[in-house]
């Protein structure tokens, strides 16, 4: 299947989604409750899934005009280098509920632990698929046996996670409306919920609600921006600077910078 210019390794391991695993050269994950297995050989990607081609192309954002996106953020010298270095890293379009619930768990934890927490949640509440893995649970599945949330190792995030499931189940958040809304209205709509601050809201906005100008700032991005551009300060100040500097696809630049910082960390830990 043709998913456009994409590198699965970069795209699925960069920390935007937490449910993809690579084994024996194949990536397997679950999208919209369906198992997806992908194997990339150069430009060829072999796909095994019950998902329709339309759904898969939607998930991989094949509708994006990637050329003009790269042209735009590539105006920055540093990012231009990263575009070459990590060619084929793409932003995904994830399910808003799964994305927001996952990033509520992602606060103040490292990626391996986030993956573990999400996996625990899926095994505890989610539907078991024929292949043996579990789908990400619906809000209702979580509410029905919320007393078991304590066994998932979520720490202080547990109460927020369950409460958010309740809010979503009660229809207190309209993701489709947030998609159509302006970036700022989208963030304002997300940030009302306990456990969603600036950073999580930006992650949800870019990874699931089509607001590619969202620029999530974690500690590593903060450091990188300070080093590369000598810009620092409050979240609001830095993120506004980033949208100004990188333009309407600022979030795409953010993901390349984040991945580069991640790669540096990985090589440091190998050296130890």
Partner DNA sequence: AACCAGGTCTCGA
Partner DNA sequence: TCGAGACCTGGT
Sites of contact with DNA (CB under 7 A): 14-16, 106-114, 116, 153-157, 191, 193-201, 203, 216-221, 233-234, 236-237, 254-255, 258, 265, 269, 272
Question: Considering the complex, what minimum distance in angstroms separates the CB of residue 198 from DNA?
Answer: 5
Q: Which is nearer to DNA, 77 or 271 (CB)?
A: 271
Sign of the CA dihedral 208, 91, 40, 23?
negative
Question: Considering the complex, what minimum distance in angstroms separates the CB of residue 258 from DNA?
Answer: 4
Query: Which residue in this structure is represented by tokens 């990400």?
Result: 136
CA distance 199 to 205: 10
SS3 track for 120-179: HHHHHHCCECCCCCECCCCHHHHHHCHHHHHHHCCCCHHHHHHHHHHHHHCCCCCHHHHH
Question: Considering the complex, what minimum distance in angstroms separates the CB of residue 53 from DNA?
Answer: 26
Question: Considering the complex, what minimum distance in angstroms separates the CB of residue 41 from DNA?
Answer: 26
Question: Considering the complex, what minimum distance in angstroms separates the CB of residue 130 from DNA?
Answer: 27
């Amino acid at each position: 299947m043709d998913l456009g210019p994409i590198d699965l390794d970069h795209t699925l391991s960069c920390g935007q989604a937490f449910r993809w695993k690579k084994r024996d050269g194949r990536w397997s994950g679950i999208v919209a409750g369906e198992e997806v297995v992908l194997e990339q050989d150069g430009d060829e990607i072999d796909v095994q899934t019950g998902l329709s081609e339309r759904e898969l192309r939607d998930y991989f954002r094949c509708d994006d005009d990637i050329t003009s996106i790269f042209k735009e953020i590539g105006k920055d010298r540093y990012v231009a280098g990263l575009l070459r270095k990590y060619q084929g890293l793409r932003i995904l379009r994830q399910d808003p509920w799964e994305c927001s619930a996952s990033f509520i768990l992602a606060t103040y934890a490292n990626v391996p632990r986030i993956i573990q927490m999400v996996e625990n949640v899926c095994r505890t509440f989610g539907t078991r698929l024929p292949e043996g893995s579990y789908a990400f649970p619906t809000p209702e599945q979580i509410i029905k046996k919320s007393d078991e949330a304590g066994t998932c190792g979520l720490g202080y995030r547990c109460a927020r996670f369950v409460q958010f499931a309740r809010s979503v189940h009660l229809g207190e958040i309209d993701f489709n409306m947030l998609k159509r809304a302006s970036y700022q209205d989208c963030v304002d709509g997300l940030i009302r919920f306990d456990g969603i601050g600036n950073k999580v809201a930006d992650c949800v906005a870019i990874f699931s609600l089509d607001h590619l100008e969202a620029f999530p700032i974690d500690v590593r991005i903060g450091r990188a921006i300070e080093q590369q551009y000598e810009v620092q300060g409050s979240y609001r100040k830095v993120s506004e600077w980033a949208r100004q500097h990188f333009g309407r696809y600022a979030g795409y630049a953010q993901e390349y910078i984040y991945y580069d910082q991640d790669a540096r960390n990985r090589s440091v830990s190998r050296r130890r």
